[in-house]
Copies of this chain bind each other. A is one copy, B any other.
Amino acid sequence: MPFDLQEYLQQRVRMVDSALHRYLPDEEMRPQVLHRAMRYSTMSGGKRLRPVLVIAGAEAVGGTADVVLPTACAIELIHTFSLIHDDLPAIDNDTLRRGRPTCHVQFGEAVAILAGDALFATAFELVARNVETAPAERVVRVLQVIAEASGTRGMVGGQMVDIESERKPVDAETLEYIHRHKTAALIRASVVSGAILAGAEQWQVDALSRYGELAGLAFQIADDLLNVTGDPGKTGKAVGTDAERGKATYPALYGVEASRQRAYQLVKEATEALRPFGEKAEPLRALAYLMVEREG
């Protein structure tokens, strides 16, 4: 029977959404507005790509979703935190996200800043909580991987260079830096974290790390392309904003067609890294193609 990605996604996303619902702080509890903002931005119909990659990373080495669920949710919270802060007026000044007003538009800037901070903190609480189902040594390794991928050598560092590069001529090296750090780092950390928690051997971690890096780069190129050619009804955000802001993007540097080819080439290389895992990596294989073929 061929692998059914839609069914796979549906089941995993349902697990993740239900866990996020449990893990997020109660909106009835003080400070209510902070908890409302945290839920508003997290439970807004995201694709849950990163948590599914955590689960698929675990499965590729023989693990199961329930063992990695807290860390899967942790990475989704880190992703959400970064979106809230990136949308702030002082940074990207975005007012629309997943078809709804962004956090600071809905709750004000102070609440948005603090909701992002609180989501980041909650993420690390969840990583710690994963010790209920995985050995402490593995949890600490995952903590190291996730913290590094989130900070200045990862997501935040990439976002910083992205902002610095607005309205400036950008060379290939800088564009690569932005993509690797802003996006690929956390995608890579997702797959690797799942694998580590499930007891992967070092060669498996290395192969999945390569997969995550390549697929993550492909994902960001696809994201840049959607900002040029996407349908706002499907992406839930405005189109053409990168060009307006003079953002460093793949299509701006190489053109649409070359970018599309590059994305596919990266996905092909990413799936080659999965060869030793056989059938167990079927979800990761399908997810890599989804990352570049998605419409939103």
Contact = CB atoms under 8 A, between A and B. Distances in A.
A91 interface: yes
B85 A113 contact: yes
A133 to B, nearest CB: 12
The quantity of this chain's copies bound in the complex is 2
A153 interface: yes
B121 A151 contact: yes
Given A111-B160, A113-B91, A114-B156, A131 B140 contact: yes
Contacts of A154: 121
Contacts of A38: 152
22 contacts: A25-B153, A30-B161, A31-B152, A34-B152, A82-B117, A88-B113, A90-B113, A111-B160, A114-B159, A114-B160, A117-B117, A117-B120, A118-B152, A121-B148, A121-B151, A122-B151, A124-B124, A124-B143, A124-B147, A125-B151, A136-B136, A136-B139
A145 to B, nearest CB: 9
Contacts of A118: 151-152, 156-157, 160
A164 B109 contact: no
Interface string A107-145: 011110110111011101101110100011101110110
Interface in A79-121: 81-82, 85, 88, 90-91, 108-111, 113-114, 116-118, 120-121
A15 interface: no
A8 B239 CA distance: 59
A81 B150 CA distance: 15
A83 B241 CA distance: 32
Contacts of A120: 117, 120-121, 151
A143 B88 CA distance: 29
Nearest to A117: B156
Contacts of A152: 25, 31, 34-35, 38, 118, 121-122
